[in-house]
Amino acid sequence: MINTLMTRARASIAKRKHYNRLVAEIDSFTSRDLADMRADRSEMLYQVHKQIYG
């Protein structure tokens, strides 16, 4: 039981770290970078959240 909780906690922490890393990368893009990529910051953040957390 404790092993299961620890496994879940580690998986959750790993997901959060990955999510935070991707969000930081998206936030580092300038408006010009986004325009060049024809991307929308909010849509990218939505897709990252959806990909990581389902």
Contact, 45 vs 23, CB < 8 A? yes
For 1-54, the pLDDT digits (tens) are 899 999 999 999 999 999 999 999 999 999 999 999 999 999 999 999 999 999
pLDDT for the residue numbered 39: 96
Determine the straight-line distance between the first and last CA of the chain, rounded to whole angstroms.
25
Predicted TM-score (pTM) of this structure = 0.85
Measured distance CA(49)–CA(45) in Å, rounded:
6
pLDDT for the residue numbered 45: 97
